[in-house]
Every structure is written in structure tokens, then in C-alpha cells.
Structure 1
Amino acid sequence: MIKAVIFDFDGVIVDSEPLHLRAFQRIVETLGLKLSPTDYYLRYLACDDKSFFKRFLEDNGQQYTEREIARLVKEKGICFEEMIGEDIRIFPGIVEFLETIRGRFHVAIGSGALTGEINLILRHKGLSEFFGFVIGADDTENPKPSPEVYLKCLERFRRDYDGTITAAQCVVFEDSPHGVLAAKRAGMRCVGISNSCSGDELGLADRVTESFSEIIDDFPEMF
């Protein structure tokens, strides 16, 4: 029996990936480097800010210190927050899906984005009421495909709501291959949402769909 639902954020609930891309591009340009949309979506999509800068600099043959990474993360966060006023699209069907599951399951967000950024967008879009809590990149040590973010969600569900809940009773909604792998490594069921990647790239998921509207009548019976 499904008891809890966990959503990745960027690329699942809101279409904020283009803003993250533009913010990253602005920061790496100050280093004399370029980031193409193709590279971002193929190589860095599931990275949190810290792991993005480390991997990107390594890929470009650049050395760095932890202090330098912290500075870049801070600058990117400031840049991203300045962009929040720009229109961020909510993916079709998500609000209706959240309304349908409200009160029936424990609901949370487990994301590689910073918790403050997530909460800012949730408030901006009027979505905060749907989620019991948010676990973000600043709450974990290891980015996806590590299962850490989802295991921390499970710990929080057990602490705050139901001490008997198991990983197998959780469903994760993800839009990236690394995110799907993280969910499966956590022992959870996973639905891949092909907003950012093709269905084939999300093949490890238990089910792949193009939108929440396609599954709103089948959830959670499809498991």
C-alpha cells in the first residue's frame, strides 16, 4: 500500500531548469567558460549547485578550492533569486494531481535544488500548502544518483507521520536518469516524467509518463 509521495522539484513541478541554466551560464562566463544547453541537460541536469560547479570545472580542466566552490554557489543563488520574478511555468496537470492526492498520502519534495530556492518558488506559485516538508541540497552531503535525499525523506516521514512506513511504500516522481536511479537505490517505486528527458532515458522507472494528467485516474492503483 502506498503511503507517501515524494516529488523532485525542478523539471517535475515547475519548469525552472531554464532559469538554473541561465544562472549557471552567467556565473561560468565570469570564469571565461561557456555552458551549452545541450551539455547542461545531458551531463549536469541532476547535479545540485555544488556538484555542478565541481564537475563542470573538472570537465574544463580547471582547479578549484572548496572556498571557491562555496563562492560560486553563493553567486549562482543570488543570480537565480533575481530571476524568480521571471515567469516560471508550472507543468500541466501537477496542481490537479496534488489536489487529488491531498490528505490521502504524506507528500514531500526531495530535490537537488537549495531548500530556500524551492520554498521561494512554492510561495511565489501558491503551492506550499501541498507539501509537508522539503529536503534540498543543503540538507544532504551526496547528490543524486545517491539515494540520500530520498532516504532522508523516509526518515522524516517516519519521524513526523508514521513510524512504520517503508521505502517500498513511497513513490517518487523524477525527470532525470540520475534521479530515477536515486529513487530505485532507495528502494522506492518511481514514476519518470519525461519533461526533461526522453522516456527511453528514464527506463529504470517503474512507469514513464508524459504528464500527470495521464496518470491522475490510475494513481496509486497502477502499482
Structure 2
Amino acid sequence: MNQIFKDFSKEFTKGLWKDLPPFRLVLGLCPTLAVTKTAENGMGMGLAVIFVLTFSNVLISALRKLIPAKVRIACFIVVAASLVVTVEQLMQAFTYPLYQRLGIFVPLIVVNCIILGRAEAFASKNTVFLSLADGAGIGLGFCLSLTFLGSVREIFGYGTIFGHQLFGPHFEPFSFMVEAPGAFVCLGLVLGLMNVISAIQSRRTGVTSPPAECRNCGSCYRMFGR
């Protein structure tokens, strides 16, 4: 029993740092850059992805032995599309203003690299229990990342957080932060900060970084636990 919970914890927590989608796996960058003008938008998109990713992982894992290998990608998309339609209906019913702000990026969750990537790399090869942990952990990490990025951009771009004013009337918003270039700058700064933290952690544990000429090699990636 202890081993089961250890495995569940391992698969769940990896999505919170080691395999953090937008910053570690560098996946799902379109919604990450496009909808994070505010913290509310980022959280809304993140919660939608949690729902779709968790349930798609569970369903695909449960059906993995019944899905023919030749049409597995099409089947994964059908499962994801069904869940996205459910999310759209719920958002239209209960959070319609948020749904309007997120726009086309809600239906585009169907082809989000994170959804299809976890289905192919994990859910189709593991049990329902572990797939649940993987989907929930990766989804939560994605949600927290979008909320954090949206918070930073909203604070500097509008002077607010979740719509609440933070500064006085003399605050001059840094409007660059809520434009498209600001999204790239914020993302790059966070990526750089995480790389610095990882390098410090590696030195403390006695693990050195791979040479510059082979950092993109898959074997180096696995060796250094990036």
C-alpha cells in the first residue's frame, strides 16, 4: 500500500517542478502567451486544462487495450474533444464572461500538445491510478504556471491582481507587459530564473550541467534529470 501511494505521489508531484509544462516541457505555449494578460484568465484556462487532461488520461488509460494502435491518435483526439465540449458548455453556463475572454483557446485545448503528449507518452502505457496522478499533477502545474504568469503581467500592466487595485492613483501601468512582446519577455525571464535555480540545485547535489554542445540531446536530458 505504501508503495502505491509513493508511486502516486511521484507521478503527481513531477508536474509541479520537474515536468512543469510551460517551463520544463516547454509545451502549451500558445495559451500560455495568449491568455495570461490577467491572473483570472490564466487560472480559468488552467482549470479547464486540469479537467480535460485528468479525465482524458483516465479514459485513455482505461481504454488503452481496446484502442487499435493504428488509430490511437485519432481516438485520443476524440476523447479530448468530448471533454472540451463539456468544458465549453460548463463555462458558457457559469462563467460566460471568462469564456468570451478566453475565446478560441478553449476549443483549441483539443489539440494542446500537453493533452496529446500525456496521452501518448503516459496514459496509453500505464494504469488508471497512475494516469490520474500524472494528469492531475501536470494539469495543476500548468494551472499554477498560467496563474503566476498572468498575475505578474496584470500587476505590472494594470496595477491589479484578480481585478483588485494594488496601487494608488499615481501608478503608471507598464502597458508593455499586457502586450504580446510582454508575454514573451515574462516567459523568458521565468525560464531563465528556473534554469538558475536548477543549476544551483545541481551544484549542491554534486551534479554538473551537460556540455553546451549536447544540451539538446535526449540522453543528456534523462541523465541530468531536467
| Fold equivalence (TM over 0.5) | no
Q: Give 1 or 2: higher helix fraction.
A: 2
> If you compute each CA radius of gyration, which structure gives the higher value, 1 or 2?
2
TM-score by length of 1: 0.28
**Structure with higher RCO (Cα < 8 A, 6+ apart):** 2
Larger relative strand fraction: 1
TM-score using structure 2 length: 0.27
